[in-house]
Amino acid sequence: MSSIQPSEKARTRDIIAAAKKKERFGKLVPYLLLAVTSLTVLATFGIVYTLLKETFTFFTHINISDFVFGTEWAPFSNADPSFGVLPLLIGTLKIALIAILIGVPAGLACAIFLSEYASPKVKKIVKPIIELLAGIPTIVYGFFALTFVTPLLQTIIPQLKLFNALSAGIVVGIMILPMIVSLSEDALSSVPASFRDGSYALGSTKFETAIRVVVPAATSGIAASIILATSRAIGETMIVSLAAGSTPAFNLDLTGSIQTMTSYIVQVATGDAGYGTTIYYSIYAVGFMLFLFTFLMNRAALYIKTKFREEY
- Domain match, 78 and 44 both: no
Residues 48 and 119 in one domain: no
Number of C-beta neighbours around residue 255 at 10 A: 15
What is the maximum alpha-carbon separation in the chain? 104
Domain co-membership, 77 together with 56: no
Total count of domains within the chain: 2
The CATH number of whichever domain residue 220 belongs to comes to 1.10.3720.10
Range of the domain at 29: 6-60
Question: Same domain for 149 and 261?
Answer: yes
User: Which residues lie below 8 Å from residue 147, measured CB to CB, with a gap of 6+?
Assistant: none
Q: How many C-beta atoms surround the C-beta of residue 106 within 10 A?
A: 16
Helix (DSSP H) and strand (DSSP E) numbers for the chain: 15, 2
| Burial label, 83 (beta-carbon count in 10 A; 0-12, 13-18, 19+) | buried
CB-based contact 263:257 (threshold 8 Å) = no
Q: Is the same domain home to 78 and 54?
A: no
Q: How far apart are CA 241 and CA 167, in angstroms?
A: 12
The answer on 113 and 183 residing in a single domain is yes
Quick count: other Cβ atoms within 10 Å of Cβ 278? 16
Per-residue pLDDT of the chain (312 residues; tens, 9 = 90+): 445 556 676 677 767 766 667 777 777 778 888 888 888 889 888 888 888 888 998 888 888 888 888 888 888 877 778 888 899 999 999 999 999 999 999 999 999 999 888 888 888 888 888 888 888 889 999 999 999 999 999 999 989 899 999 999 999 999 999 999 999 998 898 888 888 888 888 888 888 888 888 888 888 888 888 988 988 898 888 899 899 888 888 888 888 899 999 988 888 877 666 777 888 888 899 999 888 888 888 787 777 767 666 655
CB 258 within 8 A of CB 91: yes
Report the distance separating Cα 207 and Cα 211, nearest Å: 6
Residue type, 70: G
- Regarding whether 162 and 13 lie in a shared domain, the answer is no
- Distance in angstroms (rounded) separating the CA atoms of residues 175 and 230: 11
Q: Are 135 and 67 in contact (CB under 8 A)?
A: no
Q: Does 66 fall in a domain?
A: no
140 and 236 co-located in one domain: yes
Q: Are residues 80 and 153 in the same domain?
A: yes
| Coil/strand/helix, residue 73 | strand
**Are 112 and 47 within one domain?**
no
Can you say how many angstroms the Cα of residue 119 is from the centroid of all Cα atoms in its chain? 29
271 in a structural domain: yes
Asked whether 260 and 233 are in contact (CB, 8 A), the reply is no
What type of residue sits at position 31?
A: Y
Specify whether 25 is located in the same domain as 159.
no
